Structure formats: C-alpha cells, structure tokens
C-alpha cells in the first residue's frame, strides 16, 4: 500500500483513536483564500473539540498523504497551486509528483485504504441539471467504498432529485441526521423525502458497525443540514444557482473546473453569503463526523 501517513494520524490509527477523514479539494478549489484557511481551522477545531483527530487527505509531491500538516495544507490553500484530483486522476498525480487536492471520490478511496471509516465534507458532487448532464465521480465512488461520510447533501448547483435516484440505483444509503428531508447544502432542505433517519452519534455508529459487519461495501451518506441560523433561503439559492449555470454555459466552462466556477459564481451572486453558509456547514459536518468517530471508537 502506497500511502504516506502524517505522524499524528499514523500514531492515532495505531492507538485506535477516533479519526475523521477530510478532503483537500474544498481547500484547493472550493473556497477562496483566506476563507479556505479559515475552513482548515474551523473543521480541525471542531473535530478536536469533539475528541477526535483530523486526517486531511491530499497528494503531496506525488505522495498520497493521510494526515496533512499545517504547512502542507497551506500549500493547498495558495490559489492555483494544487490540481483537482478525483479518483481517476490519482495515478497521474502520483506518477507526475503533483500537488493534488483530492475530491470526495479520491479522499474516501484513500481513507478506506488507510482504515479511516468516518469522513466529513460540505456538499457532495452529483448529477448536474440539464439534458445529458455531467455526473460527479463522487457517486460511483460512494457506491464502491465502505465507510460513513457526513455531508450537507448535494451542492446547491446539483439536481437533488436526479442525484438521489442515482445514489439509490448505485446502492448508497442516504440517511438524514435529525431530518426527514434531504439537506441541500446552503439551504436546509431539497424537495426529496428521505427513507432513513438517525438522531444521535450512537445510532449513526451502530449503522456503520452494521454496514461493516454485513460488508455492504458502500458508503453510508449521512446528511446533516446547514445550521438554521446560517441557512439560506431555498428559492434564493435556486435562483442564484440557475444564474451561475447560465454564466458557466456562456463562458463555456466544462469538466472538472465547472464545480469550482459555479461555487465562485454563487458567492459573487449572493454577496458572499454563500461562503458564510458553506463554512458553517463544513464546520458542523466536521463536528458531527467527529462525534460519530468517537462513538465508533468507544
Ligand atoms: N464541498 C464543498 N466545496 C467543494 C467540494 C465539496 O463545500 O468544493 C468539492 C468536493 O471535493 C467534491 C467536489 O468531491 O467538489 C465535486 O466536484 P465535481 O462536481 O467536479 O465532481
Ligand atoms: Mn464532472
């Protein structure tokens, strides 16, 4: 296995401590400087406050690393330095010695190999709106990687109904954390009813244990909505997302740069309020994931 471990994460793994896997694409491409630095502080802080250890994951000069140091994370935070790495991009990133910011798909792949079962992110990728839509590699990877990922639902630039259908087809359980409807990233709910719900870290940990014992080999997607006081109005988010899509279409932005483009456009169209919600939900998913990791380790 060709993974490199940060010192603290390596020791914590050996000691059986609670660990939470975190993606670095949100730092490299998802948030602008200096808000991405703030994201590192807030997510790591929330995880430590709950008694767990953060394991930021990324590719450092060709080494797939589980447990990035502060200095390494700073390299990801500097705009434009890191390339965006999905699972399909890992061999190229390794072979070329790249600095690669891993998306959910590459992050959960590495976390599973490392033996870290619980992870946190903001919004997952999914099926973009429109005919013949772009589909994020996150979805298939969630289907073939064991573990539990806490998120705030699909990003607001994603079609929530099509994404839910796809995950259902792929065998990924979507579970509401204290809610009955699918959270929708910056907004608290999408028009999608969920079949499953848990309300406590212990209940989530029990679900993870059952998945591991059954060897179902797909990720449990636990959806924790953005905190109420930081949530945006669903109608406003939808309108801004449509406008962002139109801007991307007009600029001809396709492929892996589309999601970062849409997130930046959303921030601009909402006078930065989407950034505040995004940071709040990232911090809260980190907290929830840490509480579940602690309950699982206990
Ligand atoms: N969540 C955020 N901001 C982000 C992402 C998630 O709050 O930037 C990243 C994740 O790394 C996710 C990726 O896997 O966006 C999806 O990109 P794409 O749609 O190109 O697959
Ligand atoms: Mn894509």
Domain map (residue ranges) of the chain:
3-297
Mean pLDDT over residues 268-291, rounded?
98
Counting from 1 in the atom list of ligand 1, the atom nearest the Cα of 137 is 21
CA of 15 to the centre of ligand 1 (A): 31
Q: Domain 3-297: which topology?
A: Indigoidine synthase fold (3.40.1790)
**Span 244-260, mean pLDDT?**
93
CA of 134 to the centre of ligand 2 (A): 5
Cis peptide before 34 (omega within 30 of 0): yes
Pairwise CA distance, residues 151 & 169, whole Å: 19
Q: What mean pLDDT comes out for the span 52-71?
A: 98
Q: How many residues does the chain have?
A: 298
Instruction: Work out the average pLDDT over 83-89.
Output: 97
pLDDT at 81: 87
Asked if residue 298 has pLDDT above 90, the reply is no
| Average pLDDT for 68-77 | 97
Virtual torsion, Cα 32, 38, 41, 44, nearest 10 deg: -50
Pick the ligand that lies closest to the CA of residue 158. Answer: 1
Sign of the torsion formed by the C-alpha atoms of 171, 140, 254 and 262:
positive
DSSP letter for each residue of 185-221: TTBS--S-B-SEEE-SHHHHHHHHHHHHHHT--SEEE
Return the percentage of the chain with pLDDT > 90, whole number.
Answer: 96
pLDDT at position 1: 61
Q: Where are the alpha helices (DSSP H) in 66-176?
A: 70-77, 90-95, 104-114, 137-144, 160-170
Q: What angle do CA 78, 61, 21 make, to 5 degrees?
A: 75
- Among 24, 210, 6, which residue's Cα sits nearest to residue 117? 210
Q: How many CA atoms lie within 13 A of 143 on its CB side?
A: 15
Ligand 2 centroid, distance to 188 Cα (angstroms): 24
> How sure is the predictor about 86, in pLDDT bands with cuts at 50, 70 and 90?
very high
Ligand having the closest approach to the CA of 278? 1
Catalytic site residues?
23, 155
User: What does the alpha-carbon distance between residue 297 and residue 131 come to, in Å, rounded to a whole number?
Assistant: 44
- Residue 260 alpha carbon, nearest atom of ligand 1: 8
Q: How sure is the predictor about 79, in pLDDT bands with cuts at 50, 70 and 90?
A: confident
Q: Which ligand is nearest to the CA of 157?
A: 1
> For the residues 6-26, what does the mean pLDDT come to?
98
167: confidence class by pLDDT, cuts 50, 70, 90: very high
Nearest atom within ligand 1 for CA of residue 25 = 11
- Name all residues whose Cβ lies below 6 A of ligand 1: 23, 25-26, 29-30, 103-104, 121-123, 125, 136-138, 256, 259, 263, 278, 282
Q: For residue 282, what pLDDT is reported?
A: 98
pLDDT reading at 224 higher than 80? yes
* Residue 133, pLDDT score: 87
Structure tokens at 39: 């994201």
Which residue among 23, 40, 42, 57 has the greatest number of ligand 1 atoms within 8 angstroms of its CB, and so is best to mutate? 23
Cα 285 to ligand 2 centroid, rounded to whole Å: 23
Q: From the CA of 11, how far away is ligand 1's center (Å)?
A: 29
- Give the Cβ contact number of residue 212 at 10 Å: 15
């Amino acid at each position: 296995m060709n993974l490199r471990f940060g010192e603290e994460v390596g020791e914590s793994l050996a000691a059986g401590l609670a660990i939470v896997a975190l993606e670095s694409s949100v730092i490299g491409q998802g948030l602008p400087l200096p808000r991405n630095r703030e994201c590192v502080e807030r997510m790591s802080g929330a995880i430590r406050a709950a008694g767990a250890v953060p394991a930021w994951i990324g590719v450092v000069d060709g080494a797939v690393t589980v447990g990035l140091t502060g200095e390494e994370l700073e390299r990801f935070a500097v705009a434009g330095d890191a390339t965006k790495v999905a699972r399909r991009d890992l061999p190229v990133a390794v072979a070329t010695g790249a600095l690669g910011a891993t998306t959910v798909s590459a992050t959960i792949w590495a976390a599973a190999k490392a033996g870290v079962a619980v992870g946190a992110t903001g919004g997952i990728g999914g099926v973009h709106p429109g005919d013949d839509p772009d589909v994020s590699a996150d979805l298939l990877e969630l289907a073939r990687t064991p573990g539990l990922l806490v998120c705030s639902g699909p990003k607001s630039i994603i079609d929530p109904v099509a994404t839910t259908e796809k995950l259902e087809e792929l065998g990924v359980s979507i579970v509401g954390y204290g809610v009955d409807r699918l959270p929708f990233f910056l907004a608290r709910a999408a028009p999608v009813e969920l079949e499953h719900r848990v309300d406590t870290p212990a209940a989530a940990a029990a679900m993870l244990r059952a998945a591991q014992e059954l060897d179902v080999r797909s990720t449990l997607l636990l959806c924790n909505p953005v905190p109420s006081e930081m949530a945006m109005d669903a109608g406003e988010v939808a309108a801004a997302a449509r406008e962002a899509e139109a801007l991307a279409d007009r600029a001809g932005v396709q492929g892996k740069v589309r999601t970062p483009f849409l997130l930046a456009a959303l921030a601009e169209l909402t006078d930065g309020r989407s950034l505040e919600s995004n940071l709040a939900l990232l911090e809260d998913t980190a907290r929830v994931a840490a509480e579940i990791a602690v309950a699982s380790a206990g």
